[in-house]
Chain A
């Protein structure tokens, strides 16, 4: 079905009782050209780009639960392209450009809101680092503005500017950054991919790989039977190691839990996405009024999808340092998602060492903003068997070659990225 002002008017006249299901809940066929494991944003975006850009429409997306039930439904919905290192800079800007046209491409309202992302700085050294990052962005054609204290005060007069320990000195602003409605991103890609013939198969857990005599992956074993595949792509960040282990692979990844939080709804306050530079705290305000925020990962390996109190306390302290007036706002919900923390903090999009199996993994806790870009370059890799030029550095063998993309400079200690 095609969404427009007319479809909205028609539905309104019939009391909104006749909306059609927006995508087909398919049953598995025996064989597909490409099978994608993981019905999150990345997997569905990959399927849509395969069908729309690369003409490969005999595609299935297999999802263990319901689509968007993993990290696509557990993030803080922030989109931005303010990265500093070659490999990341171009890729995240590709993704940002795809966010800007996504709703038209998909004919689906994903509530993409370019309200701006401000990273606050609190010292001279941090200002210099942010100026450098901003310059890196600008020479790569990405918008960035360094704000001084006056500009930040004008934009966010409610911040605590009397913090003696971590005074707000200014911020780095990317105006094109912002937020998007996470569930609508999933449903939008499902809607558009399904319309092009992609089979979206829910409650279908992959339990093993089917291999031929040469070891090539020729399909998957699932809870709904065997499904043959020309190629199999994994987009299961959080569980990449578990799925790869079924093919005998060990990855440079650890799974860690990241918590996120939402407060009760308050009147419009935050004009943008804002991050605290002296701790780890990032926040935006949803259209429903809740403050959506998060901080660091808990720091220990976990598949439990729930975290612990120390990080919760740390995140809330970060929020209080910036906005003391939220102290009496109650926390409404808190949850955890499982992150693929890679050894350098950057993703892996590459052929795996097993023929026929392709990896899209290692998103750390930056996967949501990458959704369209990830789908695009992964579809390119699956269709052409060569990496897209903007993902050419996200190779699996970069760790062996010493070609890490380590934005934070932490080395091979995943819980510090």
Chain B
């Protein structure tokens, strides 16, 4: 598995760190206990196409949103995630 970083090009997996599923959204302050529990602990754990956050620590240090298939490891798209790295290049 290699990831094509939108800033650095194709790089080997060892340069990247995995955070996890990009779907859970941090609840707003004052959200109910159920919402926080769901966000922190429960996962869809999809077998198939999923979207997830990776960090390119060994390169541009940008957060990336990677569309990947967990059954085949096939990567269909890599986009900058919203944040400092993406803002810097105007993505």
Residues in A lying within 8 Å of B, measured CB to CB: 239, 241-242, 250-255, 299-304, 306, 308-310, 313, 343, 399-400, 412-415
Cβ contact within 8 Å between B12 and A310: yes
Tell me the count of chain B residues lying within 8 A, CB to CB, of chain A.
Answer: 25
Q: With A255-B70, A308-B1 as given contacts, are A299 and B43 in contact (CB-CB < 8 Å)? A: no
Q: Which residue of B lies closest to A305 (CB)?
A: B71
Task: Mark out the residues of chain B between 6 and 50 whose CB falls within 8 Å of any chain A CB in the assembled complex.
Answer: 12-14, 17-18, 20-21, 37, 40-47, 50
Residues of A within 8 A of B61 (CB): none
Most interface-central of B47, B54, B71, B72 (chain A CB within 10 A): B47
- Please give the residue numbers on chain B whose beta carbons come within 8 Å of chain A beta carbons, in ascending order: 1, 12-14, 17-18, 20-21, 37, 40-47, 50, 52, 54, 68, 70-73
Chain B's closest residue to A313 (CB) is: B14
Please give me the residue from chain A that is nearest to B21 by CB atom.
A301
- Chain A residue contacts of B70, Cβ below 8 A: 255, 301-304
Q: A85 CA to B71 CA in the complex, in Å? A: 34
Q: List 5 A-B contacts (CB under 8 A).
A: A241-B47, A242-B45, A254-B20, A306-B73, A414-B20
Q: Tell me, in angstroms, the Cα distance from A306 to B73 when the chains sit together.
A: 9
> Do A415 and B20 touch across chains, with their CB atoms under 8 A apart?
yes
If A253-B43, A309-B12 are given as contacts, then 20 extra A-B residue pairs at C-beta distance below 8 Å, sorted by A number, are A241-B45, A250-B42, A252-B42, A254-B21, A254-B43, A255-B70, A300-B54, A301-B52, A301-B70, A302-B70, A303-B71, A306-B73, A309-B13, A310-B13, A313-B14, A399-B37, A399-B41, A400-B41, A415-B18, A415-B20
User: In whole angstroms, how far apart are the Cα atoms of A397 and B28 in the complex?
Assistant: 23
- Name the 5 nearest CB pairs between A and B, nearest first: A241-B45, A310-B14, A252-B41, A300-B18, A399-B41
Complex CA–CA separation, A405 to B49 (angstroms): 31
